[in-house]
Structure 1
Amino acid sequence: MHHDALSDHPDLNDQEWLKKATKSAERDIRRLRRKGKRRRRMVSALLVVAIAAAGYLMYQRGLFAPGQPAPAASAPSTTVTTKVPDVVVDLNQPFVGTAAAGWADGEAGIVAPAAQPIGKHTAEQVADAYVKARQVVIAARLDRKVVEGHDIERILDLLAPGARAETRPILADPSKSDAWATRVANGYPLLPVAPKVNGHMSATVDGDGDLVVHTDYVFAYAFHTDRPRDLHGAMDIVAMTRWKADYRMLGATWPKSQRGIWLGPHDGFTYSMACGAAAKGMLAPWYSEYRVSAPPASHEPEFYFDVTKPITDEDGCVT
């Protein structure tokens, strides 16, 4: 008969220690999810122990994703000292338990400031620029025909005529244009709830005197799953993306074909996503690709949802 020494370890039979270690490990594991430039960090001995304990308990509960090897240990009979309460994720309120829970729903989160005259531009012209930029952001990040249906023409229709031809091939390739549009990976539908949105926009004039609308928004998307009882927590189905993007508004001093919105500089990242999809510029939930070998994050999850924080350059997809 095989003897499982791990199951007899006194710490793994201490209910309070198990709860604390599992909670700590799952929190730190969730911190491993990012896209950007990697920053190397050391993993503490305590985290190694906690992850080992959590991994063992996840093995008991059958929480490893299909195709991912479970720890080589035989599970003991479930007893009152080893059972960990199941995590409950409400698919009707998927953002509960995340930093986005209190944010506005969908379009309500994209609010322009009161328009003021800027340079030679009147308050009315600035207000019109805000309206046009807002329309593009909504189409690119919230319109389900774009996000789930991948219909980029709905974005292109809002740009200046001269911008469409050169922008179309860029938007057609998600790996080159996730800064301008969110597209979820096929096979991972969103839940029928509005994404959560937080951020702001402002306006300045560029060197040519044209208006530029600056946007900085975080969007959190909730994905469907047929097995909510297998989730580790709400962040397993919530993926977020943050992008700072500029929209240049060319006016009457330009040829007619050039007048309108042009896409400008951008910077951003995704978090709590599947790395395989992210490499293709697509968004998919972390539960589809559980990873425990990625480098640890530099901050708590709340940092990556905070629009007042700097854009991170970490890479949680490098092993």
Structure 2
Amino acid sequence: MEREWRREQRTAGKTIAVAALAAIALIAVVAWQYAPEWLGNTPAERPGVDFSRPFAGTDYESWADGERAVVAAPEFDEMRKAVIAARIDPAELERRDGAAFLALFPEAARPVWRQQLPLFVTQLSPGVQLLPNGVKAQGTIGEVVNEQGEKVVRTDFRIAYAFAPDDPAAIHRPEDFIVMAEARLDLQQTPGGLRITNSGIRWHDAACGAYVTGLVAPKFAEARQPC
């Protein structure tokens, strides 16, 4: 009986030793992955960004370029123009006055919508510039029934903006220079022009300092536009 107990004791001891070694190995792997400096491991350098193909390797790569993304039935052409003027056309976004967008609405309503432009229009912060091929989008334009039971034409788009960096060498990941917007606008056609019934906008990876003023800039501009 004593001999069997000793055999079991030795077996148990080996099991504990193996488990301890496995635990040490696991700790070493975790340390290597999450705190590489503990073991002298230097993270591999990320490949440089190709600014001639700014969306390569991102979720936005398969989206359509610029105005090609904004497709609508002929009867919704005014709504299509509104999306392009508000979110797609780089010249309009840099002007920051929403002129082409506001022109689609009755003249009497324009002062009201002008006061709320950041809700409806992408306005680039002064000093930042989109890359030549820097707008991609994905979305739809179609008729829906809203919460009030009214028929409206809903424009529902996600738009990615790639900005020309001040220092290309300082850009290490897409989030540093690409900003994405989720923009929805419910519209109705009236004899005098369009009417807005509802809207929604959500920004991702935008510089906070520009955002709080109603403008849009990438994260690399945060240093000169802090919150």
The TM tier, using the shorter chain, reads 0.7 to 0.9
In structure 2, which of residues 37, 52, 56 is the aligned counterpart of residue 92 of structure 1? 52
In structure 1, which of residues 264, 283, 298 is the aligned counterpart of residue 216 of structure 2? 283
CA apart distance, 1:285 = 0.7
In structure 1, which of residues 104, 123, 126 is the aligned counterpart of residue 64 of structure 2? 104
Shifted more, 193-202 versus 132-141: the winner is 193-202
For structure 2, the residue ranges without an aligned partner over 5 or more in a row are 1-27
Q: Where does 1:204-223 land on structure 2 (aligned, <5 Å)?
A: 204=144, 212-223=152-163
| Counterpart amino acid of residue 175 in structure 2 | M
Q: TM-score w.r.t. structure 1 length?
A: 0.55
User: Equivalents in 1 of 2:160, 2:59: separation in Å?
Assistant: 9
| Counterpart amino acid of residue 202 in structure 2 | F
> Residues 61-103 of structure 1: CA distance to partner in whole angstroms, max 9, x if unpaired?
xxxxxxxxxxxxxxxxxx9x53632441111111112211110
Q: Where does 1:1-319 land on structure 2 (aligned, <5 Å)?
A: 20-21=33-34, 81-82=41-42, 84-112=44-72, 127-128=74-75, 130-171=76-117, 177=118, 179-204=119-144, 212-251=152-191, 259-289=192-222
- 2:13: which partner in 1? none
> Are the equivalent residues in 2 in contact too, given 1:87–1:229 (CA < 8 A)?
no
Q: Secondary structure in 1 aligned to 2:133?
A: coil
CA apart distance, 1:148 = 1.0
User: Equivalents in 1 of 2:52, 2:149: separation in Å?
Assistant: 48
**After TM superposition, what 4+ stretches of structure 1 lie above 3 angstroms from structure 2?**
14-18, 204-211
Relative contact order (C-alpha < 8 Å, sep 6+): which is higher?
1
For structure 1, the residue ranges without an aligned partner over 5 or more in a row are 1-13, 22-48, 57-78, 115-126, 172-176, 252-258, 291-316
CA apart distance, 1:209 = 9.6
CA apart distance, 1:206 = 7.1
| Counterpart amino acid of residue 269 in structure 1 | R
Instruction: Name the one with the larger strand percent.
Output: 2
User: Equivalents in 2 of 1:210, 1:86: separation in Å?
Assistant: 51
| Counterpart amino acid of residue 105 in structure 1 | D
User: Equivalents in 1 of 2:100, 2:204: separation in Å?
Assistant: 26
Instruction: Name the one with the larger helix percent.
Output: 2
- 1:63: which partner in 2? none
| Counterpart amino acid of residue 88 in structure 1 | G
CA apart distance, 1:190 = 0.9
> Residues 145-177 of structure 1: CA distance to partner in whole angstroms, max 9, x if unpaired?
321121322211111233223323333xxxxx2
Identity of aligned residues (%): 31
> Are the equivalent residues in 2 in contact too, given 1:147–1:183 (CA < 8 A)?
yes
User: Equivalents in 2 of 1:17, 1:96: separation in Å?
Assistant: 32
> Residues 203-228 of structure 1: CA distance to partner in whole angstroms, max 9, x if unpaired?
14679997521111011000011322
| Counterpart amino acid of residue 62 in structure 2 | G
Q: 1:205 to 1:84 in 2, by over 3 A?
A: closer
> Are the equivalent residues in 1 in contact too, given 2:90–2:130 (CA < 8 A)?
no
User: Equivalents in 1 of 2:111, 2:168: separation in Å?
Assistant: 43
- Kindly report the root-mean-square deviation, in angstroms, between the aligned alpha carbons of the 2 structures: 3.1
Q: TM-score w.r.t. structure 2 length?
A: 0.75
